[in-house]
DNA sequence: TTGAAAGCGGTACCAT
DNA sequence: ATGGTACCGCTTTCAA
């Protein structure tokens, strides 16, 4: 295979009998270069397929036009939507995107972040893992003057902008809908207690219950460990077999809701007549379930876009003081059959 | 925000009163450096958190330890599985992964590839878009001596290794299962005619029909344009309302099968009693459908891993002649209720 | 065992 | 309007 060495600035300068600096300026259309020269150089460059060696440029300018993005899981509808949004925003501004996943492990997150640092990304977009409590690996970026934007799951020990779903409000509205449909005994299968999103959704759930003077029962609030279908099934069983079973179950995510629906079908409990079920995230499966699952659309694509825009903004602003702003992207309640009682 | 400038080799050399070259050699434990010096330098480096400036290293070595990966869609179960596998394999070997998506547009693919080239990736992993016919943008990589590995959708105009599902065999076995279940009139909703995977699946389908002397009917082989749920619905309707309706429908992918299932439910046609339905790809939705959908698991994670391993291999081998080998990752037939006739 | 210096491919400052 | 040159941080050859 003939390895065609790329043509360099030096080659152009030599061939055209001009200096390297002139060639450089002509290519970048600097002021103070004759039209003629610009013409000549640009034509030559195009004809010979000149592509500037970006490593050299990066080296000189000490930036890479590359953003690092660290997510818990790539194979995940919500996160891949976020990636897609970030990708588009990055593209629009001429940035590239380096991706890593942590599989919800703090150790892998550390490793991924160090990889990003070694890869000399200009900035970092991250959704921290469930395990993460220490965030010194993120502080390292800030210490080097590299902006960080957190999205979805975040730590508030860090002064960075954050882009998230409005979890509290989303949960509030989701449960409000259940109440409007006549549910009185509403359970909530929550996530890990220490995770911010879980706390916020729990908060919204509790608030709407108290606003409507509905029963609050600690036994109705189990916490998932790994947010799985199996846990949904098990907790649904536990809830429904208790002495005081709920008439609605609000789930931390659609996957858990799937487990719940499976249990209810196996137990021949009708949805929504006997128990209403509400999910969260609007995965494709929510639409496919029988009956279809009411859920909350978080607009991951938008979150990804917004997070990237924010990051690039702080990359381009001279004022390096990081904001601590929390941007909440409004969600939409998607009402389907699992919560819609007839009449 | 205090921007801590990173410490450089030069700093180390100055502080320790040695030369830059000695410092460099000590850090990389070159032969011909005294244990003492190595000790001293490495200790100093660790103490001061020395991280080599990878841009400078890349520049010098003219490689970036970064792989470019171009896929049609990120928000897609199969592709995100492949990405996940590639990510893991890359990680294991110390490579980073730059990602772009094309949204099945040839123009975006071109742009993405040029971005990768400009980003100076060491090699490229790509699944071409449905629109792609000209592959000169991939040839550019080969011309520069950068290896390319194709996966999933590929062009055979290019001498590169390819990692794919065994589409022909997979389709053959899937349809064979339908035949074993007693189906005699088997339709196949195929994909775009010019796409290799579609051709291969169609080939497997036709072969098994002829091997069993079953009816082959051109009207039973509609071609999707965008492989959507809506198309599945429309073609199912068309097939079932024809004068000679099939008793089984083999779909190019699970999403199309979902449309088919929706139509059949709306039309009150029982699955699998009256019509069996087979999907392809084993998305989560296939498990959730009622009845659950039989399908083909393509092991995307493995495909991603294998493609990345192959790429890194050719990156590290001195022999730069690209192989034209096609590696087929065996699929698994997943039998669920949509094809399992009782008794 | 160590040091000096060239050079990777650009950019940008200082001359002219 | 153009050329000369230092330099970004590191690796590597050559010399000592």
The 3-class secondary structure across A293-309, one letter per residue, is: CEEEECCHHHHHHHHHH
Question: Which positions ≥6 away from A207 have C-beta within 8 Å?
Answer: A168, A172
Coil, strand or helix: which one is B173? Answer: helix
Question: Between B240 and B19, where is the model more confident?
Answer: B240
Confidence (pLDDT) at A318: 65
Cβ–Cβ below 8 Å for B3 and A320: yes
Confidence (pLDDT) at B24: 92
- DSSP strand pairing (B295-297 vs B332-334): antiparallel
Q: Would you place residue B107 in the very low, low, confident or very high pLDDT band (cuts 50, 70, 90)?
A: very high
| Distance (Å) from the alpha carbon of A5 to chain B's nearest alpha carbon | 7
Query: Average pLDDT, stretch B14-19?
Result: 91
Site from A55, A85, A282, A319 to mutate, B interface, most B CB atoms within 10 angstroms = A55
Nucleotides of C under 7 A from a protein CB: 1-5, 7-13
- Which nucleotide comes closest to B19 if you measure CA to C1'? C3
Q: Which residues of B touch A284 (CB under 8 A)?
A: 283-285
Coil, strand or helix: which one is B79? Answer: helix
Question: Which positions ≥6 away from A309 have C-beta within 8 Å?
Answer: A89
Site from B288, B297, B314 to mutate, A interface, most A CB atoms within 10 angstroms = B288
Residue of A nearest to B68 (CA): A98
Confidence (pLDDT) at A1: 41
Give the C-alpha separation, A65 to A97, whole Å.
9
Residue B3 has pLDDT above 60, yes or no: no
Give the C-alpha separation, B183 to B160, whole Å.
40
Helix-strand-coil split of chain A, %, nearest 5: 45, 15, 40
Asked whether the whole model's pTM tops 0.85, one would answer yes
What's the Å distance between residue B57 CA and nucleotide D13 C1'?
Answer: 17
A33 touches strand D (CB under 7 A): yes
What's the Å distance between residue A201 CA and nucleotide D7 C1'?
Answer: 54
Taking a C-beta distance cutoff of 8 angstroms, is the pair A269, A275 a contact?
Answer: yes
What's the Å distance between residue B156 CA and nucleotide D12 C1'?
Answer: 42
Give the C-alpha separation, B177 to A62, whole Å.
59
Residue A167: phi and psi, rounded to 5, are -60, -45
Q: What is the pLDDT of residues B260-318, one digit of tens each?
A: 999 999 999 999 999 999 999 999 999 999 999 999 999 999 999 999 999 999 988 86
Q: Which residues of B touch A105 (CB under 8 A)?
A: none
Give the residue from A323, A306, A326, A328 showing the smallest Cα distance to A159.
A323
Structure tokens at B308: 């990345």
Confidence (pLDDT) at B341: 87
Give the residue from B237, B162, B229 showing the smallest Cα distance to B200.
B162
Coil, strand or helix: which one is B7? Answer: coil
DSSP A210-254: HHTT----GGG--B-SS--HHHHHHHHHHHHHSSS--SEEEESSH
**B94: buried, middle or exposed (CB in 10 Å: 19+, 13-18, 0-12)?**
exposed
Amino acid whose CA is nearest the C1' of D11: B60
Give the residue from B63, B88, B86 showing the smallest Cα distance to B74.
B86
Taking a C-beta distance cutoff of 8 angstroms, is the pair A328, A166 a contact?
Answer: yes
- Which nucleotide comes closest to B23 if you measure CA to C1'? C2
Q: Would you place residue B320 in the very low, low, confident or very high pLDDT band (cuts 50, 70, 90)?
A: low
Q: Would you place residue B30 in the very low, low, confident or very high pLDDT band (cuts 50, 70, 90)?
A: confident
Cβ–Cβ below 8 Å for B87 and A66: no
Helical pair B54-61 and A54-61, crossing angle rounded to 10 deg = 150
Q: Which residues of chain A have pLDDT under 50?
A: 1-2
CB nearest to A101's CB, from B3, B87, B320: B87
What's the Å distance between residue B9 CA and nucleotide C10 C1'?
Answer: 21
Coil, strand or helix: which one is B284? Answer: helix
Chain A 66-85 residues whose Cβ is under 7 Å from strand C: none
Structure tokens at B109: 């693919």
Site from A119, A265, A304 to mutate, B interface, most B CB atoms within 10 angstroms = A119
Is the peptide bond prior to A272 cis by the omega test (within 30 degrees of 0)? yes
- Which nucleotide comes closest to B34 if you measure CA to C1'? C1
Q: What is the pLDDT of residues B169-219, one digit of tens each?
A: 999 999 999 999 999 999 999 999 989 999 999 999 999 999 999 999 999
Q: How many CA atoms lie within 13 A of A261 on its CB side?
A: 28
Confidence (pLDDT) at A118: 82
What's the Å distance between residue A273 CA and nucleotide D10 C1'?
Answer: 70
What's the Å distance between residue A221 CA and nucleotide D8 C1'?
Answer: 58
Q: What is the pLDDT of residues B117-166, one digit of tens each?
A: 888 899 999 999 999 989 999 998 998 889 999 999 999 899 999 999 99
CB nearest to A285's CB, from B3, B62, B284: B284
Counting residues of chain B whose pLDDT is more than 90, the rounded percentage is: 80
Beta strands in chain B (DSSP E): 66-71, 96-101, 123-126, 148-151, 162-165, 186-189, 248-251, 276-278, 295-297, 326-329, 332-334
DSSP B301-328: HHHHHHHHHHHHHHHH-S--PPP--EEE
Cβ–Cβ below 8 Å for A96 and B115: yes
Question: Which positions ≥6 away from A14 have C-beta within 8 Å?
Answer: none
Confidence (pLDDT) at B2: 43
> SS3 string of A68-110?
EEEECCCCCHHHHHHHHHHHHHHHHCCCEEEEEECCCCHHHHH
Query: Average pLDDT, stretch B322-339?
Result: 94
Give the C-alpha separation, A277 to B299, whole Å.
32
Q: What is the pLDDT of residues B219-258, one digit of tens each?
A: 999 999 999 999 999 999 999 999 999 999 999 999 999 9
Q: What domains, with CATH codes, occur in chain B?
A: 9-52 (1.10.260.40), 66-164+300-328 (3.40.50.2300), 167-298+333-339 (3.40.50.2300)
Query: Average pLDDT, stretch B43-52?
Result: 90
Taking a C-beta distance cutoff of 8 angstroms, is the pair A196, A185 a contact?
Answer: no
Name the residue with tokens 């279940």.
B181
Residue A12: phi and psi, rounded to 5, are -60, -45
Structure tokens at B193: 């005619």
Give the C-alpha separation, A155 to A157, whole Å.
5
Confidence (pLDDT) at B1: 41
Nucleotides of D under 7 A from a protein CB: 1-5, 7-13
Give the C-alpha separation, A161 to A154, whole Å.
10
Cβ–Cβ below 8 Å for A98 and B96: yes
Name the residue with tokens 């279809």.
A292
CA distances from A24 to A20, A43, A222, B56, B60 (A): 6, 13, 64, 21, 21
């Amino acid at each position: 295979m003939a390895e065609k060495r790329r043509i360099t600035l030096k080659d152009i300068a030599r061939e055209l009998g001009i200096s390297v600096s002139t060639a450089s300026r002509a290519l970048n259309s600097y002021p103070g270069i004759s039209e003629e020269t610009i013409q000549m150089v640009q034509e030559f460059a195009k004809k010979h397929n000149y592509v500037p060696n970006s490593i050299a440029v990066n080296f000189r300018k000490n930036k890479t036009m590359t953003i690092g993005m660290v997510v818990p899981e790539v194979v995940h509808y919500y996160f891949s939507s976020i990636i897609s949004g970030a990708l588009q925003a990055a593209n629009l501004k001429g940035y590239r995107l380096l991706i890593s996943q942590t599989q919800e492990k703090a150790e892998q997150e550390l490793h991924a972040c160090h990889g990003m640092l070694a890869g000399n990304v200009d900035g970092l977009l991250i959704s921290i893992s469930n395990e993460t409590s220490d965030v010194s690996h993120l502080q390292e970026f800030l210490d080097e003057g590299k902006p960080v934007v957190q999205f979805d799951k975040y730590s508030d020990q860090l002064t960075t902008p954050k882009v998230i779903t409005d979890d509290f409000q989303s949960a509030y509205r989701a449960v409000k809908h259940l109440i409007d449909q006549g549910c009185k005994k509403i359970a909530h299968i929550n996530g890990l207690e220490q995770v911010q999103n879980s706390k916020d959704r729990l908060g919204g759930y509790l608030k709407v219950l108290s606003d409507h003077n509905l029963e609050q029962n600690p036994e109705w609030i189990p916490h998932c460990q790994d947010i799985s279908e199996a846990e949904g099934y098990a907790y649904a069983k536990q809830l429904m077999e208790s002495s005081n079973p709920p008439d609605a179950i609000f789930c931390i995510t659609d996957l858990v809701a799937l487990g719940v629906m499976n249990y209810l079908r196996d137990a021949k409990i009708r949805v929504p007549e006997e128990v209403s079920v509400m999910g969260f995230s609007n995965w494709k499966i929510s639409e496919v379930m029988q009956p279809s699952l009411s859920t909350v659309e978080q607009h991951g694509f938008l979150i990804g876009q917004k997070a990237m825009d924010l990051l690039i903004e702080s990359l381009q602003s001279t004022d390096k003081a990081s904001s601590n702003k929390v941007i909440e992207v409004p969600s939409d309640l998607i009402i389907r059959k699992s919560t819609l009682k007839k009449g």
